[in-house]
Amino acid sequence: MAAAERRLRGLGRLCRLLLLLSQFYVPCGSEHSQPLAQAVKDAVPTRAATAVPGAAESTEIPSYVMKCPSNGLCSRLPADCIDCATNFSCVYGKPVTFDCTVKPSVTCVDQDLRSQKNFVINMTCRFCWQLPETDYECSNSTSCMAVSCPRQRYTANCTVRDHVHCLGNRTFPKMLYCNWTGGYKWSTALALSITLGGFGADRFYLGQWREGLGKLFSFGGLGIWTLIDVLLIGVGYVGPADGSLYI
């Protein structure tokens, strides 16, 4: 009886040992991860790809390079292509000389066609907003009245031309007179006023339909309104309804 009990206990220990070993057994082709396989996988170090700072930046071309002619004279490069050591204490209106350096990725030459990085430019001492009107371009406005008394102004954003050098910001605001046209011709308006002004054709042409209806139903104010409009259009006092100038 005691021998049978010892055999049963030994058999139970063997079963528990086999059960324990089966937990660490990884069958080939199994799709489920076992604890032992997961532990081995975690123990293997993974190699992460590290990005090299500046590797992508080195191939990028600066935006200002598109404005810079290649292998041209350094003294004729646009202002966006160079950096100059300006001095704001110069005398206004007097000639001044500044030391300049070309920006990275910009190539230029001197008078002898030799590559050059540092050079000197000659210019007149004045700020960009003090330049003549021919040296900068300004935005136009179609929302102001060009034909009004007094004549209206608007705030325009002006940018200095590339080949012009000056002190300060190259983009600046400036008050300008309204100066735009909607396509109306002064000669056409005057001709209509003389020939068909009694029917309000001149006012209709200029977009002033209320005045045109008034002249139409009053037969040009019995001729008086017609004569007055001929004079007003002739001197340019009456203009298009949208406030633009004549062509």
pLDDT at residue 48 in the model: 45
Q: What is the pLDDT of residues 1-43, one digit of tens each?
A: 566 666 667 666 766 766 665 555 444 444 444 444 454 344 4
Considering only CA atoms, which of 208, 199, 196 is closest in space to residue 239? 208
At 65-87, the pLDDT tens digits run: 888 888 888 888 888 888 988 88
| DSSP secondary structure letters along 128-164 | GGGS-GGGEEE---SSS-SS-SSPPEEEEEEEE-TT-
pLDDT of 58 strictly over 70? no
Least confident of 13-27, 207-221, 226-240: 13-27
Q: How far is CA 221 from CA 117, 160, 197, 226, in A?
A: 76, 52, 10, 7
pLDDT at 173 over 90: yes
Q: Contact 102/67 with Cβ under 8 angstroms?
A: no
Percent of the chain past pLDDT 70, that is, above it, reads: 75
* Confidence (pLDDT) at 23: 58
Q: Are 126 and 167 in contact (CB under 8 A)?
A: yes
Q: Residues 174-200: pLDDT tens digits?
A: 988 887 677 788 899 999 999 998 899
| Mean pLDDT of the chain, nearest integer | 79
Q: Which amino acid is at 233?
A: I
Written as six digits, the tokens of 108 are 């230029």
The pLDDT tens digits for 134-154 are 999 998 877 777 666 677 788
Helix (H, G, I), strand (E, B) or coil at 71: coil
Most confident stretch, 46-55, 117-126, 135-144:
117-126
